[in-house]
Amino acid sequence: MKKGELLMSEATENTTQEQQTTLDEYDVAILGGGQAGLTLALQIKQTRPETSIVVIEKQRFPVPEAAHKVGESTVEIMAHYLRDILGLQEHLQTQQLRKFGLRMFFSAAGNQDITHRVEYGQIAEAPLPSYQLDRGRFENTLSQLLPERGITLLDGTKVQQIDLQPQSETHHLRLDGEQGEREINVKWVVDASGRSSLLKRQLGLAKKVGHHANSAWFRVNYAVDINDWSDDPEWKGRVTNGERRLSTNHLMGPGYWIWLIPLSSNSTSIGIVADAEMHPFEGFNLFERALSWLHEREPQLAQVVEEHREQIQDFRVMRDYSYSCEQVYSEERWCLTGEAAVAIDPLYSPGGDLIAIGNGLTCDLVTRYLDGEDIEDLAAAHNQIFLIFSEVWLVAYEKQYPLMSNAQVMVAKVIWDTIIYWAFPGLLFFHDKIRRLGDSDGALANLYRCWNLHTRVQQFFREWHSFDQPEATDTFADPYSLMDFLVDLHNGMAANLPDDELEAQFAINARLLEQLSGQLVQTVIDKHEGRVEDEAAQEQIRKWREEPFIAEVLAIYEEEQRTNPIDNSWITLGYQSEREKQEITR
């Protein structure tokens, strides 16, 4: 080869190497192309368009519709994240279903007739929409958006090795895909690999929790409509402006609940969730076992499944599904999001909310670093905030499954949990305050105030249940008619308040929660105090009266009730006590 040709060859080789290096270096690598990873990629790119992002997913797209993943029900935080922050409103409105709220039916008389079961649920559409997601359809749509937004998607690719190099400018990943092995360098690694938890396992960050439950689920290619389970015109007429089938319907029993979620593909998702101690996993971990389990406890649903068993699309299980994490964000340029971080419980559909909150904190951390900020303190603050929010959700489920057969306690609990959600995390997330909580001592103080109050009230529900388990049938509880201010809390999430007004509203909400917790305690005491023959109730009442925390919320309740009286029928399945009638009409 002549000297000129040799120089030309070397120049070409160097250019090729430079191009290859450019192609194999990214600002952010997201490990996992499920709901958490795909939405995070879109959010980071939207926030900082110049960011180079690669999403690595072991499955190939498109994935199947209907029988893909659970986590199909969203509530307000996740709905706001998808619709308003990521701009996916058109897809949600045209390709998914609008959810008709949470609906629960509590066990009664062998569950042979749904009209006799206590029903909790709304009768008309809520102002702020949420959605039922066909996860396959949703993730296919997102996967198509990525290349349109300049994001690299490597589907059909496994992560073989994660070499974190915090002292270097980049971490190193080794991948294995259809084109063979390749290596890439990235500034940030985000683990969104779901329960595979690639990075969490590697770093030994898994943390056990005290909540132990199991689940089994399947999809049937049939639109199960719970409204067809009775011809009773009065029962059908309860719901005046919406369809029961579009709710996330829950069939509640001692230590278990069943979900029925409609999908836009015309399938229905059906799942069993049960306390590990009260219902052995082996009793429903195969389809035939699950069907027998349903025949025993939920015969109306079992009959529908029998009639359409040829249309069953899948059957899957998950044992001891709840867990937490020691750390989710690090100044050493790694994060965890979605189920790679924590998994709590599906009862109130919090998985999507934790994705929305976690992705927002991740996006804030990553983009600030890429813009040259020192993120050491920020990473520690975001880590603390996220883990507090995961604990707020966890205490609502931990040790609470035995209460699920007690309609009176559970309706009060579900309303309380809804109030907490709208007054606290919902308000803060809609106002983009969660990532900025560290900037306000007052907001942080109210965060801890609400968290501690919520934890004590969850214990109160267990104490109340221990001695008060009345039979309850033929009752309908619509949360909006039971408590007018619920509508204000719901709408207040999207009030778009300036920061000073937001912090004032958060303080008002915290005070309201204290008033309601005092009302809850006082109402239960009033009901049982005169029943001297009930020794268990009298002993518990004595303990409550001697507890300083309880005494404090009782005093707040008495003070606030004078100027802002609230009907206590949310605690008593819609029946107003004489004490409350007098206070309301003063």
Together in a domain, 533 and 578: yes
By the 8 A CB rule, do 29 and 57 touch? no
Residues 199 and 253 in one domain: no
**Which DSSP category does 64 fall into?**
P
Domain-located, residue 174: yes
For residue 294 the two structure tokens come to 């349903």
Do 313 and 357 reside in the same domain of the chain? no
Sign of CA dihedral 54, 362, 129, 239: positive
Last residue of a domain, one of 318, 346, 379: 318
Domain count, the chain: 3
The pLDDT of residue 400: 98
Q: What angle do CA 182, 186, 187 make, to 5 degrees?
A: 170
For residue 297, the domain's CATH number is: 3.30.9
For residue 6, being part of any structural domain is answered with: no
325/345 same-domain check: yes
Distance between CA atoms of 49 and 39, rounded to whole angstroms?
15
Alpha carbon of residue 56 to chain centroid: 24
Q: Is residue 532 part of a domain?
A: yes
Nearest CA among 217, 230, 278 for reference residue 112: 230
Q: Which residue type occupies 451?
A: W
Instruction: Give the residue from 405, 424, 456 where a domain finishes.
Output: 405
Contact by Cβ (8 Å): 210, 399: yes
Beta strands in 352-464 (DSSP E): none
233 with 370, same domain: the answer is no
Structural domain includes residue 4: no
Assigned domain for 372 exists = yes
Looking at residue 484, its pLDDT comes to 79
Q: What is the radius of gyration, based on Cα positions, of the chain?
A: 26
With a cut of 70, list the residues of the chain below it in pLDDT. Answer: 1-23, 482, 575-586
Distance, in Å, from the CA atom of 52 to the CA atom of 28, rounded to the nearest integer, reads 6
Would you say 505 and 427 are in contact if contact means Cβ atoms under 8 Å apart? yes
Same-domain check for residues 451 and 535: yes
Token look-up 């290859």 returns 20
577 and 533 fall within a common domain: yes
CATH number of the domain encompassing residue 384: 3.50.50.60
Q: Are residues 277 and 144 in the same domain?
A: no
Q: Which domain holds residue 194?
A: 25-86+135-206+321-405
Domain match, 399 and 253 both: no
- 116 & 236 share domain: yes
In a domain, 294, yes or no: yes
Q: What amino acid occupies position 379? A: A
Query: Do 446 and 440 form a contact (C-beta atoms < 8 A)?
Result: no
427: left (phi over 0), alpha (psi -120 to 50) or beta: alpha
Residue 529's contacts (CB-CB under 8 Å, 6 or more residues apart) are: 538, 541
226 and 360, same domain (yes or no): no
* Distance (Å, whole) CA 496 – CA 203: 40
128 and 232 fall within a common domain? yes
Kindly state whether residue 3 falls inside one of the protein's structural domains.
no
Assign residue 87 a region (left: φ > 0; alpha: ψ between -120 and 50; beta: otherwise): left
Residue 56: inside a domain:
yes
Could you say which of 267, 284, 318 is where a domain stops? 318
Q: 340: number of CA atoms within 13 Å, CB side?
A: 30
- Distance between CA atoms of 90 and 93, rounded to whole angstroms? 5
pLDDT value at residue 575: 59
Maximum distance among all Cα pairs of the chain, rounded to whole angstroms: 108
